[in-house]
Amino acid sequence: MAGKSGDVTDEEDMDVDVDAQARLQNVTLGMKQQADELLLANKLDKALTLYRELLMHLTRSQVTLLQQRELAISCHMNVLAVLGKAKRWSSVVTEASEALNVFEELQGAQGATDIPFEEQQRENVVLARAYYFRGFAYLKLGTFQPAQQDFRRALELNPEDETIQNDYKELQTALQAEQRVKQFLATSMKLFQAGNYKAAVEACVSALRESQALQKTELTGLIHGNLAAIYVKIKDDAKAIDHYKRTMLLTRCGDKPTAAQNERVYDILDSLAGCYSRKRDYSSALSVIEDQIKLFPSCPDRNDREGMMYLNGGRICYTMARYAQAEEHLEKGYRVSLKASNQLDTALNCAYWLSKAYAKNSKIEKAMETLDTTISEAEKEANAAIITDLLEKLLVNVGNPSFGKLSNILTENGGFVVMFGLQKYFLTS
């Protein structure tokens, strides 16, 4: 009853609290029942949304969490069931870790009071399932060591669970297979280094058979990459291309690739472009390089490869008589290489092909300007053998009659040419 001031009395306040708790209990139980029905109907996304909404209410405060302890635990376990059914293994790992933290919090809040044996057993079963869910997810992700830790903990808590026992056996089989794969790969590497390529291929194929049962995409991709490298060495570019493609598919899996995965794909594309070029399949080579160019901004550790990437694209375009496109790539490669340190050789190569592309497009003045600038830059570092070789190529271009008047460059660089004994590369017009 209200007091004279109109305030609610302690008794009425208690009644209000009880009523509020009862309403909350009814709402949460209704949501839980609805979510359970959605789970049974295999409407996983809707069930997951409802379980998460319910958990948000239940974990809003520790008081509510303690009052709704059993309901919160049940919701966490059902979220794991939904994610497991959807095979969202990374999410299972995250959710199981969160659930285990909540269980630990609940146990801590309960204090060190003696828990009846039967209640302790029930808690152990729930904890075992949470560890099992996470361990099984690790198994499916191919992360076997943490999987083994979780399975062992689950079996300690509930040694009679046949599902845990059976999947733990599957994990042991996978661990043994992984060990065999690593042994085959080590053998293949030794054979490859010894030049015994046929035996190296056989060892890799054996590793591939073992790894397919493991469903470890990263390991399988590594094996395909090794096979591709061996086939490149024995000049079987067709087989190398096949294995590089498989490696790329396995490396690219996942919605949000990491920088390391992007860089791995970039390197594979680089190797693929080389294989296609050697097969004279220039259209495919150019397509691969264009994929590299698109991927390049996501590869921070490949900045030193930008000039070479554009050089490769430009050379292929020139070979395909796409001179305007060759100019575009080679100009970018030339600019990047000149700015970078220790990339003068790439800059000289870009200048060589760029001057040829300019000449094909009747841009003789631009060709001469490029060669003049580049030779001046190269003169600073001409002590390196590779730079001298590239200068020879450039000077052959300079002396080519198709470049028109050469008097300026011949005059400015004549002493330089004599110094390196390159007079023979100048052609008279």
Based on the fold, state whether residues 152 and 203 are members of the same structural domain.
no
Residue 225 inside a domain? The answer is yes
Based on the fold, state whether residues 80 and 143 are members of the same structural domain.
yes
Based on the fold, state whether residues 224 and 109 are members of the same structural domain.
no
**Tokens of residue 268, six digits:** 């594979």
Query: Considering only 42-51, 227-236, 262-271, 279-288, which range has the smallest mean pLDDT?
Result: 42-51
Predicted local distance difference test score (pLDDT) of residue 113:
57
Based on the fold, state whether residues 155 and 208 are members of the same structural domain.
no
In this prediction, residues 175-204 reach a mean pLDDT of 95
- Rounded to 10°, the helix 117-141/89-110 angle is 160
Predicted local distance difference test score (pLDDT) of residue 10:
45
Confidence of residue 202 (pLDDT cuts 50, 70, 90): very high
Residue-number span of the structural domain to which 212 is assigned: 171-255
Say how far apart CA 99 and CA 79 lie, in whole Å. 10
Check if the beta carbon of residue 327 is closer than 8 Å to that of residue 358.
Answer: yes
The 3-state secondary structure of 339-403, one letter per residue: HCCCCHHHHHHHHHHHHHHHHHCCCHHHHHHHHHHHHHHHHCCCCCHHHHHHHHHHHHHHCCHHH
- pLDDT, greater one: 39 or 173: 173
Boundary-marking domain end, from 187, 221, 255 = 255
Based on the fold, state whether residues 155 and 176 are members of the same structural domain.
no
- The beta-strand segments (E) located in 151-296 are none
Check if the beta carbon of residue 218 is closer than 8 Å to that of residue 253.
Answer: no
Residue 396 inside a domain? The answer is no
Confidence of residue 404 (pLDDT cuts 50, 70, 90): very low
Check if the beta carbon of residue 154 is closer than 8 Å to that of residue 128.
Answer: yes
Based on the fold, state whether residues 62 and 86 are members of the same structural domain.
yes
Based on the fold, state whether residues 148 and 190 are members of the same structural domain.
no
Residue 209 inside a domain? The answer is yes
Q: What share of the chain is helix, strand, coil (3-state, %, to 5)?
A: 80, 0, 20
Measured torsion, CA atoms of residues 266, 272, 274, 277, in degrees rounded to the nearest 10: -130
Based on the fold, state whether residues 145 and 50 are members of the same structural domain.
yes
pLDDT above 90 (res 394): no
Based on the fold, state whether residues 46 and 130 are members of the same structural domain.
yes
Based on the fold, state whether residues 145 and 178 are members of the same structural domain.
no
pLDDT above 90 (res 4): no
Q: How much is the mean pLDDT over the chain?
A: 81
Based on the fold, state whether residues 178 and 156 are members of the same structural domain.
no
Residue 330 inside a domain? The answer is no
pLDDT above 50 (res 313): yes
Amino acid at 34: Q
Share of the chain above pLDDT 90, in %: 50
Check if the beta carbon of residue 325 is closer than 8 Å to that of residue 361.
Answer: no
pLDDT above 70 (res 392): no
Amino acid at 219: L
Residue 38 inside a domain? The answer is yes
Boundary-marking domain end, from 223, 255, 287 = 255
Residue 204 inside a domain? The answer is yes
Of residues 303, 305, 403, the one with CA closest to residue 361: 403
Say how far apart CA 376 and CA 372 lie, in whole Å. 6
Amino acid at 80: L
In this prediction, residues 403-420 reach a mean pLDDT of 39
Residue 208 inside a domain? The answer is yes
Q: What is the pLDDT of residues 87-97, one digit of tens each?
A: 999 999 999 99
- pLDDT, greater one: 218 or 401: 218
Q: What is the domain count for the chain?
A: 2
CATH of the domain at 190: 1.25.40.10
Residues 6+ apart with CB under 8 A from 310: 293, 329, 330, 332, 333, 336, 350
pLDDT above 90 (res 320): yes
Based on the fold, state whether residues 139 and 46 are members of the same structural domain.
yes
DSSP 262-315: HHHHHHHHHHHHHHHHHTT-HHHHHHHHHHHHHHGGG-GGGGGGHHHHHHHHHH
Within 8-43, where are the H helices?
10-40
Say how far apart CA 194 and CA 420 lie, in whole Å. 41
pLDDT above 50 (res 406): no
DSSP 405-420: --HHHHHHHHHHHHHT
Residues 6+ apart with CB under 8 A from 236: none
Boundary-marking domain end, from 122, 140, 160 = 160
Residue 124 inside a domain? The answer is yes
Q: To 5 degrees, how large is the angle CA 156–CA 162–CA 168?
A: 65
